[in-house]
Chains A and B, each alone.
Chain A
Amino acid sequence: MSGIAPPPPAGPMPSKSWTVKVREKGVEALPPDRLLPDGQPTYVASWIYVFGVAGIASLIVIIASGSILALKGPAWWHFTGVGHFLNSIHLWSVELFFFVMVVHLWGKFWMAAWRGGRGRVWVTGAITFLVAIPAALTGYVSQQNFDAQWISTQAKDAMNSVGVGSFFNLTNFGQMYSFHILLLPIAVVALVVAHVLLVRRHGVVPPFELERRAEFAAAGAGAKGQR
């Protein structure tokens, strides 16, 4: 018996399974040539996008170094040379992540990156920045040293002052560590993936000048059509 699937039976088509529907929706939203294009428009040759990619590269280093720290534990990152090194890599990759993300966000803000139906692209980028902040701050209180103890006892007052102290107890190491190494990283990675897929779907926002030219061209074509 060959491994080739038999042809579908003749007659009325059965209702589509969820796998078929998901595949069709996925391919419709992001055809392969748009998901992995051959090239980008010339205006994408800009340093601003280098900072976006640098943010993703930093995030990969953060996840990789954080995974090793989680595997080895506090005694390793506090009391061994390699542990100190990985701890520093983790810290400085976070510093770099925020640095490049701020530059990328500033650039996209002044380029009004939400133009042309790209609102979700901008919003996922901005929310990624906002979610990354507690992801980093919970790292400060997960260090297992006096620094973490000091920060957590100071920051708990901020949580209590806005009435969320019973939900986010900064002196509860288990809760903060779970937020830091599981819940918030998942949220950040999911948002970054959504952001990149939305960029692929809608394309990079064109410069104002090109958009104006396209609008003039469309208006001109419309006027000709009415004659």
Chain B
Amino acid sequence: MYVLAAVFNLNHPAHTVDWSFVHLSVANVIIIGLMVIVFVLALLLPFPGAAARRAARDGGGS
């Protein structure tokens, strides 16, 4: 824990992103960005076995 505390110095006021009335901490902006990236990946990445299931369904004639 103390090693991590040395790597990430938290002994300062939060860095923020300011744009008009929008006032967000950098930490929150990073989290929101990560959520958007994961969401896009969830849409784009093929789900394991999905293609095989579709092929089985279409091949089965149902």
Contacts and interface: CB of A to CB of B under 8 A. Distances in A.
Q: Do A and B bind each other?
A: yes
Interface of A: 42, 45-48, 50-51, 84, 99, 102-103, 106-107
A107 B42 contact: yes
B53 A84 contact: no
B31 A99 contact: yes
A92 B47 CA distance: 26
Interface residues of B, number: 16
Contacts of B54: 42
B13 interface: no
A interface SS class: helix
B1 A103 contact: no
A79 to B, nearest CB: 14
B38 interface: yes
Contact of A45 (B1, B34, B43, B47): B47
A106 B39 contact: yes
Interface of B: 1, 31, 34-35, 38-39, 41-43, 45, 47, 49-50, 53-54, 57
B42 A103 contact: yes
A96 to B, nearest CB: 11
A45 B49 contact: yes
Interface-central residue, B47, B49, B57, by most chain A CB under 10 Å: B47
Contacts of B43: 47-48, 107
Contacts of B34: 99
Nearest to A42: B53
A48 B38 CA distance: 10
A47 B47 contact: yes
